[in-house]
Amino acid sequence: MYYLPLIFLQLVIAWLLGVAAMAASQALPDCENWCGNISIPYPFGTKEGCYIEESFLVTCDVSFSPPKLYLTNSAIEITDLFLSGQLRVSSWIARDCYNKQHLREFNNKPWMRFRKFPISHNRNKFIAVGCDTYAVITGSQGRDYTTGCLSLCDSIGSMINGSCSGIGCCQAIIPKEVRSFNISVNSYENHTNVWDFNPCSYGFVVEDNTYNFSSLDLQNFQNRTSVPVVLDWSIGNETCNTAEQNLTSFACKENSECSNFDNGPGYRCNCSEGYEGNPYLSNGCQDIDECKISSPCNMTCHNLLGTYNCSCPEGYEGDGRKDGSGCSRIPSKKLPLVNIALGISISISVLLLGGSWLYWGFRQRKIIKLREKFFEQNGGIMLQQQLLKRDGLFQSSKRHGSTVNEAKAEQLRGVANLAKRCLELKGDERPTMKEIGIELEGLRMMEKHSWVTDNKNSEETQYLLGDISDAYGGGGGGGGGSTSISAAYDSMTNHVMSPFEGGR
């Protein structure tokens, strides 16, 4: 019981090998597959049961070495058989030869007739060679027709090798659906004027592109006795649509396609795209491994039944085909990350700048308020009032044409500097009340000594300095001012100042 899977596997392998062998042999089982070096594919066969119908009988003559293959029981030698719907045979050459006395010494008229296979109209031509030659080809099987050509020349020097346009060589087209031909070659003047280089005329049907005219052919046709001719073949006399109605007799098997014959009645079979083999045999069309045979993919190739698939590995994009877009590396995705990081950096920078600007604004506002507070605490308002009164007196004296001399200007700059120092934020940079009193006393002394000659502004100066002294408890002049300033200083030292950034 354990051997059943192994036995089944062996049977499957044997069946596959049989199918492969059948596909490789191209013939039915127990039928000859070769005759010498010529393959014999089904529907052809050498005996009954090996061919599809009697017209496909071929005979292998082993008396030759190598053996020769003939169509049915005739003398028409087959040199090749093709599953595409053609066979190649050897055809005779018509000759018309004269001796030196210009008398005919040889003339033959070869012919061929086929019951089933027409002469291929697109793979053969009728050709005549000679300088005093006209040739005619006629037929009655399949289609009645008559055609021919004329070839003339007077010297071998007028020949053009490779050209068959009427000078030493001429040609004509074979009509469609022709299954027979008769060839005759004649001369107008028995080669009298050209006998020394062209004693004979030649005519033949030949496979296209297998004959190339040469001036050497004018002498004895270079001893050729036959030329290749291609015949077409088809199955039955029905079209594909009609034949498909009867699957028992329908010749096209699995993985094949039917096409109507274009050179007479009948149809042909061909393996479907992606398959190869014999479409007339069961399982005769086998899958083609395109990946191994043609390598159609750029990178990764997956063979499938009847087709294949190309793909690109991870990190690549495209259809993977050599005849398509192929495979190209996917661009790196680092760029979006860089953009995100750049956006975050810019956002943080904006926030930091905005925060710094707000902080600076709040700090400046706080500094201004502190300055105003210290201005009030250190007698700034009183000083401002005195300055405003002085400014009024100054403007009044200016209107009356008086000017301030340099000494007075120096005194005013001193008062301004003192006021500026009183507004400093740091306590150690602001003057004490004692220092203020001393400086004001100094300014008063400057008035007594420097302004004695200036009677016009004495009232203004006396008013300014006197009022400042009164602001700190002074009396009216003399030595009492100093005592009053000292008293004001002593009273100020008893005040309690709010601490700010180390000030006192």
Span 367-371, mean pLDDT? 80
CB 81 within 8 Å of CB 41: yes
228 pLDDT band, cuts 50/70/90, is: very high
φ and ψ at residue 359, rounded to 5 degrees: -60, -45
Q: Is the pLDDT of residue 188 over 70?
A: yes
- Nearest-angstrom CA–CA distance, 124 and 230: 7
Span 234-244, mean pLDDT? 95
Higher pLDDT pick, 181 / 470 = 181
Record the tokens describing residue 500, joined without a space.
Answer: 């700010």
Break the chain down into helix, strand, coil percent, rounded to 5.
35, 25, 40
Q: Give the pLDDT confidence score for residue 338 in this predicted structure.
A: 66
Nearest to 121 by CA among 79, 178, 77, 171: 178
Q: Is the pLDDT of residue 469 over 90?
A: no
Span 213-239, mean pLDDT? 95
Strands (E), 42-177: 58-61, 68-71, 77-82, 86-92, 94-98, 104-107, 111-113, 124-129, 132-139, 145-152, 169-173
pLDDT digits 0-9 by tens, 26-58:
889 999 999 999 999 999 999 999 999 999 999
Q: Give the pLDDT confidence score for residue 380 in this predicted structure.
A: 65
CA angle 73, 79, 85 (to 5 degrees): 90
- Nearest-angstrom CA–CA distance, 150 and 172: 10
- Nearest-angstrom CA–CA distance, 285 and 254: 7
pLDDT digits 0-9 by tens, 254-313:
999 999 999 999 999 999 999 999 999 999 999 999 898 888 998 889 888 888 899 898
Q: Give the pLDDT confidence score for residue 455 in this predicted structure.
A: 47
Q: Is the pLDDT of residue 349 over 80?
A: yes
Strands (E), 114-165: 124-129, 132-139, 145-152
**Which of 393-402, 410-419, 452-461, 482-491 is predicted least confidently?**
482-491
Percent of the chain at pLDDT exceeding 90:
50
406 pLDDT band, cuts 50/70/90, is: low
CB 405 within 8 Å of CB 494: no
Q: What mean pLDDT, rounded, does the chain reach?
A: 80
The rounded Cα 15 to chain-centroid distance in angstroms is 45
The rounded Cα 474 to chain-centroid distance in angstroms is 100
CB 78 within 8 Å of CB 45: no
Higher pLDDT pick, 268 / 2 = 268
Q: Is the pLDDT of residue 62 over 90?
A: yes
336 pLDDT band, cuts 50/70/90, is: low
User: What DSSP character marks residue 297?
Assistant: B
HEC states along 476-488? Answer: CCCCHHHHHHHHH
- Nearest-angstrom CA–CA distance, 468 and 436: 11
What one-character-per-residue DSSP string does 238-250 give?
A: S-HHHHTT-TTT-
Helical H segments across 332-457, by residue range: 334-377, 380-399, 406-422, 433-450
Higher pLDDT pick, 441 / 320 = 320
Span 189-211, mean pLDDT? 96
Nearest to 112 by CA among 60, 171, 174, 68: 174
- Nearest-angstrom CA–CA distance, 268 and 258: 6
The rounded Cα 375 to chain-centroid distance in angstroms is 79
493 pLDDT band, cuts 50/70/90, is: very low
Q: Is the pLDDT of residue 379 over 70?
A: no
Q: Is 374 helix (H, G, I), strand (E, B) or coil?
A: helix
Nearest to 55 by CA among 76, 32, 28: 76
Record the tokens describing residue 261, joined without a space.
Answer: 């014959």
pLDDT digits 0-9 by tens, 121-152:
999 999 999 999 999 999 998 889 999 999 99
Nearest to 190 by CA among 99, 63, 84: 99
Q: Give the pLDDT confidence score for residue 437 in this predicted structure.
A: 75
Q: Give the pLDDT confidence score for residue 88 in this predicted structure.
A: 97
Higher pLDDT pick, 303 / 403 = 303
- Nearest-angstrom CA–CA distance, 426 and 413: 22
Q: Which residue matches tokens 């059943």?
A: 4
What's the order of all strands across the beta sheet hosting 226-232? 58-61, 68-71, 77-82, 86-92, 226-232
Question: Do the strands 300-304 and 307-311 form a parallel or antiparallel pair, or are they unpaired?
Answer: antiparallel
φ and ψ at residue 186, rounded to 5 degrees: -140, 170
Q: Give the pLDDT confidence score for residue 415 in this predicted structure.
A: 75
pLDDT digits 0-9 by tens, 408-448:
667 677 777 777 777 665 666 677 777 777 877 776 776 55
Span 11-37, mean pLDDT? 66
Span 15-32, mean pLDDT? 63
- Nearest-angstrom CA–CA distance, 135 and 150: 7
Produce one character per residue of 293-324: b if its CB has 16 or more CB atoms within 10 Å, e if not: eeeebbeebebeeeebebbbeeebebbbbeee
CB 182 within 8 Å of CB 111: yes
Percent of the chain at pLDDT exceeding 70:
72
Q: Is the pLDDT of residue 387 over 70?
A: no
Q: Give the pLDDT confidence score for residue 197 in this predicted structure.
A: 95
**Which of 55-69, 353-367, 390-404, 474-488 is predicted least confidently?**
474-488
Span 345-350, mean pLDDT? 88
